[in-house]
């Protein structure tokens, strides 16, 4: 399996892959050295089946964007929104930008390295298939960096394999002070819905 947590060495070999979600057929350009280059990975498929963005959201984040499936989907579903797409793999970011242009949302997706994101921005929604395999400590640091960037009434949707610690991650997030509940479970994956601890407990569930 390619190591997709850093920019790969060697020549890039691009190709088109098709997928279907939200009752729509999509085509994305992928390449060697990026996550799930052969098509839509099962975890992201579960995430996309479990939810759609809330009406009226204006600022969204695709955390660990890869070649841009979530970013493009969110920007397409929310024509009024700006989407930040963050990854550490420059090849993935280039693909994300090209896929955004391919789907006519290039002007509303900003694909960038983590350090290029404005830390003052607060997101209405964060969507992520987080890189569990970077290790528990690195994953915790990643989430503690980005989840506090939720707006007060914001929500993060994380898809995590049960076999890779979804349930323990949920407990850890609650211990860190976040409101976290399982909103969906399918094919061995959990979708965790995370809100700031300051969110009004009387809000209707998303």
- 167: in domain: yes
| Number of structural domains in the chain | 1
Q: With 0-12 CB in 10 A as exposed, 13-18 as middle and 19+ as buried, what is 85?
A: buried
Is 9 within a domain? no
Q: Would you say residue 160 lies in a domain?
A: yes
pLDDT at 5: 59
Residue 34 in domain:
no
Is 202 inside a domain boundary?
A: no
CA–CA distance, 105 with 43 (Å, rounded to integer): 24
Domain of residue 65, residue span: 41-195
Euclidean distance between CA atoms 14 and 89, whole angstroms? 15
Contact 68/41 with Cβ under 8 angstroms?
no
User: Which CATH number fits the domain that encloses residue 140?
Assistant: 3.40.50.150
Cβ neighbors of 175 (< 8 A, separation 6 or more) are none
User: Does a structural domain hold residue 92?
Assistant: yes
| pLDDT tier at 4, thresholds 50, 70, 90 | very low
Mean pLDDT of the chain: 92
Whether 95 has a pLDDT exceeding 70, the answer reads: yes
Q: Which residues contact 94 (CB under 8 A, 6 or more apart)?
A: 111
pLDDT of residue 72: 98
Return all residues near 130 (Cβ < 8 A) that are at least 6 apart: 63, 64, 139, 142, 143, 158, 160
pLDDT tens digit string along 11-62? 899 999 999 999 999 999 999 999 999 999 999 999 999 999 999 999 999 9
Residue 200 lies in a domain: no
How does residue 133 score in pLDDT terms, banded at 50, 70 and 90?
confident
Residue 132 lies in a domain: yes
């Amino acid at each position: 399996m390619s190591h997709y947590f850093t920019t790969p060495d060697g020549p890039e070999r691009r190709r088109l892959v098709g997928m279907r979600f939200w009752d729509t057929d999509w085509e994305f350009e992928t390449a060697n050295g990026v996550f799930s280059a052969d098509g839509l990975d099962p975890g992201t498929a579960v995430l996309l089946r479990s939810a759609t963005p809330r009406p009226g959201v204006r600022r969204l984040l695709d955390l660990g964007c890869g070649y841009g499936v979530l970013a493009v989907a969110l920007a397409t579903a929310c024509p009024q929104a700006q989407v930040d797409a963050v990854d550490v793999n420059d090849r993935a970011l280039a693909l994300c930008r090209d896929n955004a242009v391919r789907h006519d949302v290039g002007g509303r997706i900003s694909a960038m390295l983590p350090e290029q994101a404005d830390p003052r921005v607060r997101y209405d929604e964060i969507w992520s298939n987080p890189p569990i395999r970077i290790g528990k400590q690195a994953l915790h640091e990643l989430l503690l960096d980005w989840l506090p960037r939720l707006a007060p009434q914001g929500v993060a949707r994380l898809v995590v394999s049960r076999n890779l610690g979804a349930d323990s991650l949920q407990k850890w997030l609650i211990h860190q002070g976040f409101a976290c509940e399982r909103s969906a479970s399918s094919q061995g994956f959990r979708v965790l819905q995370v809100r700031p601890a300051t969110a009004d407990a009387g809000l209707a569930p998303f």
